Amino acid sequence: MSTRREQIIYLLIRMVMYSIVLVIGYILFDIVRHGLPALNWEFISEYPRKSGSEGGILPAIVGTLSLLAGTIIVALPLGICSAIYLSEYAEQTRFTTIIRLAIITLAGVPSIVFGLFGLGLFVLFLNFGTSILAGSLTLACMVLPTIIVSSEEALRAVPLGYRDASLALGATKWETIRTNVLPYSLSGIITGSILGIGRAAGETAPILLTVAAFYLPKLPKSIFDQVMALPYHLYILATQHPEADKVLPLQYATALVLLLLVLGLSLGAIFIRIHFRKKYRW
Amino acid sequence: MWKDKAMRLLMVSAASTSIFLVALIFIFLVKEAAPFVLTPGLRALLDRQWIPVSFVQEHFGILPLVTGSALVTGLSMLFTIPLSVLGAIYIAEIANPVEREILKPFIELLASIPSVVLGFFGLVVLAPLIKALFGLGTGLTALTGAFLLTLMAIPTVITLSEDAIMSVPRAYKDASQALGASDLQTIFRVIIPAALPGIIAAIMLGVGRVIGETMAVLMVTGNSALMSWSPLAPVRTMTATIAAEMGEVSFGSIHYQALFWIGLVLLAVTFILNIIAQRVLVRYGMMK
């Protein structure tokens, strides 16, 4: 039995929770409401004109997508292999402890510090210049811990019996991993990785110093080119544009495109997870 | 068998890159920051003013930036802690299963809104609101930044606190109820105290996230590098300084080195917070 006082406290806690939900909802609603009217095919498919006051955001979309592709190519194999080591091979040794410590440390490094690091190592020391290559590598370092942690979780979810059965039949360790562990954990690995990489798509601070161009109305030709990127473009339009108020609809539309891209990736990942959770039940 | 050994080697080397990366980050930050130690010397960082570009006398004191970061982070924790802990209690103990299945992805959704989008929202919606509400000259204040940072910290703190609450053994709850405690008494006098180490670790990780957050604060805190403890005055954080000034600085200059020192301070602070939080989690057996 709960007393009247307790019921009031319950109500208060519920109100706290739902006011958080309400605020999130309002932010999304506000951006969709103001962004949608300015969002059309021309906006997505055309080059910007007059330093972004008119025209579209095609180079920024292409820029962000190419950064994403670069990040995936670098971070995904590295992250999955690390996770395989941690879940399948690693013993409780000092070496393993240090690896885990390193991953935790990486996960906590602020994004702007990754930017500084990328500037120091990739842009200047390795002389990649401000380029897609430098930006992708920087973003890859940033998402690596997320990919490792979620992939390891997915690998560990596969029951031990699967491994034992394969090993008992004479398969080697690698054959066991390839045929009896990876196939069943792939969906989990993919979802976790998409969630991590989706966040990279919206990151501004690391690309600010390593790749992003202020205004560059053309498409990149090689991985050594600078590109525009959606988050940076939004930042520039909102804070540096001489007539920031006049281009407000374009700012909202850019925010909406970025939001759709990032949330689309995240929602996709969440749906894949729900789908596969129903398929595999150990 | 050679193939088996080769694959093992591949996995070990992949896993070692994380160690390698942490070392590289540290080395490259130190490398770019190092010459500062000779001229003008580390004492220059303790100046009370940050005036990196001047015709008369440059000042590279990072104190106003540290207090700026501390003020914004402290304010945001004032909101984050009660909201997140109550939110976590709601999700873990009060919500029905259907509600929980909806609320949890929704909180994850908040985590994936890019910080630049939140910063933009803060700039066009929140700042004018705060300006009107408090009758200020500008809505770009520490408080505005703190509100946005709260939104960014909430997903981290709620999710980890909820894990901590969930990891409290069921027997504690049963025992408490068997002694006649109500649900609410059980939550606040048994479950929360038992989950406290985990909740504290969650808060520390939230603080780490907030201190390192760049774009949202860059866009809404007004960026004036004056030492001030007023929530309604503009401030400038460490992260925003790096982001705003690195684009215009000439590589290798003293100003450039000073910005890398700020990066080192940020790295050290987040590293320490992370390690302590992890220690707490391991010590109380709350690691997943």
Q: What is the separation, in whole angstroms, between the first and last Cα of chain B?
A: 34
CB contact under 8 A, A108 and B124: no
Q: What is the mean pLDDT of residues A193-205?
A: 85
Asked if the bond preceding B197 is cis, omega within 30° of 0, the reply is no
CB contact under 8 A, B260 and A116: yes
Residues of A within 8 A of B15 (CB-CB) are: 81-82, 85-86, 90, 99
Residues of A within 8 A of B73 (CB-CB) are: none
* φ and ψ of B222, to 5 deg: 85, -20
Q: How many C-beta atoms surround the C-beta of residue B116 within 10 A?
A: 27
* pLDDT at residue A279 is higher than 80: no
The region of weakest confidence among A66-80, A95-109, A137-151, B126-140 is B126-140
The rounded Cα A86 to chain-centroid distance in angstroms is 22
- ipTM value greater than 0.85: yes
B221, B222, B223, B227: CA torsion to nearest 10: -80
Closest CA to B36 of B265, B268, B252: B252
Q: SS3 helix, strand, coil % of chain A, rounded to 5? A: 75, 0, 20
Q: Are B147 and B213 in contact (CB under 8 A)?
A: no
The rounded Cα B286 to chain-centroid distance in angstroms is 21
pLDDT attached to residue A282: 57
pLDDT attached to residue B51: 83
Q: What is the mean pLDDT of residues B144-161?
A: 93
Closest CA to A207 of B112, B144, B115: B115
* Segment B190-228, tens digit of pLDDT: 999 999 999 999 999 999 999 999 998 999 988 777 777
CB contact under 8 A, A81 and B94: no
* Segment A73-111, tens digit of pLDDT: 999 999 999 999 999 998 888 999 999 999 999 999 999
A227: distance to nearest CA of chain B, Å?
16
* pLDDT at residue A214 is higher than 60: yes
Cβ neighbors of A257 (< 8 A, separation 6 or more) are: A35, A39, A43, A44, A57, A61, A230
Confidence of residue B44 (pLDDT cuts 50, 70, 90): confident
Q: What is the mean pLDDT of residues B94-117?
A: 88
The answer to whether residue A231 neighbours chain B at the CB level (below 8 Å) is: yes
* CATH (residue range B62-283): 1.10.3720.10
The rounded Cα B161 to chain-centroid distance in angstroms is 15
CB contact under 8 A, A78 and B120: no
pLDDT attached to residue B281: 86
Q: SS3 helix, strand, coil % of chain B, rounded to 5? A: 75, 0, 25
- Secondary structure (DSSP) of B79-131: HHHHHHHHHHHIIIIIS-HHHHHHHHHHHHHHHHS-HHHHHHHIIIIIHHHHH
Kindly identify which residue of chain B lies nearest to residue A75, measuring between CA atoms: B14
Residues of A within 8 A of B18 (CB-CB) are: 82, 99, 102-103, 106, 144-145, 148
* pLDDT at residue A229 is higher than 80: yes
The chain-wide mean pLDDT, for chain B, equals 89
Q: How many C-beta atoms surround the C-beta of residue A3 within 10 A?
A: 10
Confidence of residue B285 (pLDDT cuts 50, 70, 90): confident
Residues of B within 8 A of A24 (CB-CB) are: 106, 109-110, 113, 151
- Secondary structure (DSSP) of A162-187: HHHHHHHTT--HHHHIIIIIHHHHHH
Residues of A within 8 A of B184 (CB-CB) are: 2, 6, 9-10
Return d(Cα A127, Cα A124) in angstroms, integer.
5
∠ CA(A251), CA(B146), CA(B241), 5° rounding?
A: 70
The chain-wide mean pLDDT, for chain A, equals 88
* pLDDT at residue A129 is higher than 80: yes
Smallest Cβ–Cβ distance between B106 and the set A24, A90, A199 belongs to A24
CA atoms within 13 A on the CB side of B48: 2
Kindly identify which residue of chain B lies nearest to residue A17, measuring between CA atoms: B87
Cβ neighbors of B77 (< 8 A, separation 6 or more) are: B153, B203, B206, B207, B210
Q: Are A149 and A103 in contact (CB under 8 A)?
A: yes
* pLDDT at residue A280 is higher than 70: no
Domain A39-279 fold? MetI-like fold (1.10.3720)
Confidence of residue B287 (pLDDT cuts 50, 70, 90): low
Confidence of residue A2 (pLDDT cuts 50, 70, 90): low
Q: Are B264 and B29 in contact (CB under 8 A)?
A: yes
Smallest Cβ–Cβ distance between A231 and the set B10, B90, B116 belongs to B116
Closest CA to A86 of A195, A187, A185: A185
pLDDT attached to residue B264: 95
Q: Are B117 and B108 in contact (CB under 8 A)?
A: no
pLDDT attached to residue A263: 87
The region of weakest confidence among B21-25, B84-88, B102-106, B115-119 is B102-106
CA gyration radius for chain B? 23
Please say whether the dihedral angle defined by the alpha carbons of residues A59, A60, A64 and A70, taken in this order, is positive or negative: positive
The region of weakest confidence among A191-195, B196-200, B274-278 is A191-195
* Segment B163-172, tens digit of pLDDT: 999 989 989 9
What are the sequence ranges of the domains in chain B?
2-33, 62-283
* Segment A7-44, tens digit of pLDDT: 899 999 999 999 999 999 999 999 999 999 888 888 88
Residues 91-130 of B with CB under 8 A from A: 91, 94-95, 103, 105-121, 123-125
Residues 3-42 of A with CB under 8 A from B: 3, 6, 9-10, 12-14, 16-17, 20-21, 23-24, 27-28, 30-31
- Secondary structure (DSSP) of B212-279: H--HHHHHHSB--------TTS-B--HHHHHHHHTTTSPTTSHHHHHHHHHHHHHHHHHHHHHHHHHH
Q: Are strands B50-51 and B59-60 parallel, antiparallel or unpaired?
A: antiparallel
Test mutation, B31, B148, B215, chain A, max A CBs within 10 A: B215
Test mutation, A8, A13, A144, chain B, max B CBs within 10 A: A13
* Segment B16-42, tens digit of pLDDT: 999 999 999 999 999 999 888 887 888
A101: distance to nearest CA of chain B, Å?
8
Go through A122-161 and write b for each residue having 16 or more CB atoms within 10 A of its CB, e for each that does not: bbbeeebebbbbbbbbbbbbbbbbbbbbbbbbbbbebeee
What are the sequence ranges of the domains in chain A?
4-36, 39-279
* Segment B45-100, tens digit of pLDDT: 888 888 888 888 888 888 889 999 999 999 999 999 999 999 999 999 898 999 98
Q: Which residues pair with A48 in a beta bridge?
A: A55
* pLDDT at residue B276 is higher than 70: yes
Return d(Cα B73, Cα A272) in angstroms, integer.
36
Query: Percent of chain B, pLDDT > 90?
Result: 53
For the ranges B2-16, B67-81, B95-109, B238-252, the maximum mean pLDDT occurs at B67-81
Strand positions, DSSP E, chain A: 48-49, 54-55
* pLDDT at residue A281 is higher than 70: no
The rounded Cα B24 to chain-centroid distance in angstroms is 22
Closest CA to A265 of A201, A218, A216, A177: A201
